[in-house]
Structure 1
């Protein structure tokens, strides 16, 4: 039950981790935080209380639960198994949850490290973006042991609208790969549709109003079409991070002999956006690529 978790350590206070950790503090959990940029940790403590610490290991000491939300596989390894990482301070009775979108191989690696230490591990990547983290409406895809998941699910529900155990270790990361594969094709289709509508002289807002009521409707259409039409991309999930995620998907696909032709193509298109200087633009900037010669 969630009330059994009295103290949590949160490692990584980026655009996702900052509000996620905040939801735990609001729920009455004592939160100990670490962030590579100390000023961000200081700001978080000023807003939510709790305490900030100079290393992940120190933040982890005394915590019933340790949550990690950083950038990529190497970042996770640094904060978890590095010299002053989580494993240097975690209790044998604690649970380590990794919210980073990372490889399934890393999840299995961390599970083995936790097992050797005596603690438990859950890979739990999230979907829903900064808005979902702020509003506490994330989708959380988990991999790990049933008992550990059941114990942690009420805690994750503080910022997750849907918290689901997908299978054994790595299944959460595999499910997140499916999520990113599906998004890539949908965003490209929306970009092409809006580009075509503009060239055809149609009122794009009106087009979306009509087609969103039918089979073409999607989260991307509902939440991104206006900013795409306005050419506004300084928000949302960055192209650089999407390419990192798609690289994970494509590497895993090669291991599985799975064919992802659309995903591979859209990954190349995002490479074009990066070449345009749009690495930090929202993923919906695929439309900008189509319009660059207009």
Structure 2
């Protein structure tokens, strides 16, 4: 069993850190809102720290799941950042969805201090985190990944290294690009079914096992039919992720016309006040348009 620190207790990090304790690991957590860290420690029997540095001190593995590039730098770098408390040979595992550029930057900075850095963004949403069945896509040195994989299995059903530093984040971009098109297509299909006078649930019962089936269809069609979006992965975060995808595409020459279009559709949802709605709220934009 490993000595772990977990930085960031949002809707994903909170249950992920809990799974580490449940699997017998020794865990200390940090969160910008100290009250949440204290509540987690009380609930799960772990410990909490006032700074990333304090949490990381003596840890073999330091996991992070925060908001964006700047948030990640804030918990890693500086006098009170995690690297300041990590010992040589320790491994930093970043579960945040960030740019490959910041991943490679921090990989290099960590290596200069004798610390390994594995980028390991996740997919599966809040339910996947709570149930410990996330898909985890990783980049970094093979030896560091091999050491971290058994620990990540506490909350991951599929854990795989895709290549060197940044490969995990690039794979997560592929994931988000695919989801954007899938959700828009699903939204249009269900909107069409409704306009045609069909029962959405009955339609999905028939088609979900065929070529059109997807995780989004199985898990989101009911709430989409009910016009309920106060759950799941927020539109604000999806736009952050798609922004990373589009920026990276500009750098590598990839053409992402559908992704760019769906990103603008999500912008429309934000203007409707749906920044915190689930990504499946794309259908609400269609319903509003008539």
TM-score of the two chains, using structure 1 as the length reference: 0.97
- Note if 1:9 corresponds to 2:5: yes
What is the match of residue 29 of structure 1? 25
Q: Which string of whole-angstrom CA distances, capped at 9 and with x for unpartnered residues, describes residues 183-227 of structure 1? A: 000000000001111111111111111111210000000000000
| CA shift for structure 1 position 293 | 3.5
**Whole-angstrom CA distance in 1 between matches of 2:162 and 2:126:** 23
| CA shift for structure 1 position 43 | 0.6
What is the match of residue 166 of structure 2? 170
What is the match of residue 70 of structure 2? 74
What is the match of residue 136 of structure 2? 140
Q: Name the Cα RMSD after superposition.
A: 0.7
Deviates further, 133-142 or 144-153: 144-153
| CA shift for structure 1 position 126 | 0.2
Q: Which string of whole-angstrom CA distances, capped at 9 and with x for unpartnered residues, describes residues 69-112 of structure 1? A: 00000000011013311111011121001000000001100110
Residue 110 (structure 2) aligned to one of 107, 111, 114: 114
Query: 5+ unaligned residues in a row in structure 2: which ranges?
Result: none
**Whole-angstrom CA distance in 2 between matches of 1:88 and 1:119:** 11
- Note if 1:188 corresponds to 2:187: no
- Note if 1:59 corresponds to 2:48: no
**Whole-angstrom CA distance in 1 between matches of 2:83 and 2:108:** 12
Aligned residues: 290
Query: 5+ unaligned residues in a row in structure 1: which ranges?
Result: none
Q: Hey, which bits of structure 1, 4+ residues long, moved more than 4 A?
A: none
- Note if 1:290 corresponds to 2:286: yes
| CA shift for structure 1 position 38 | 0.6
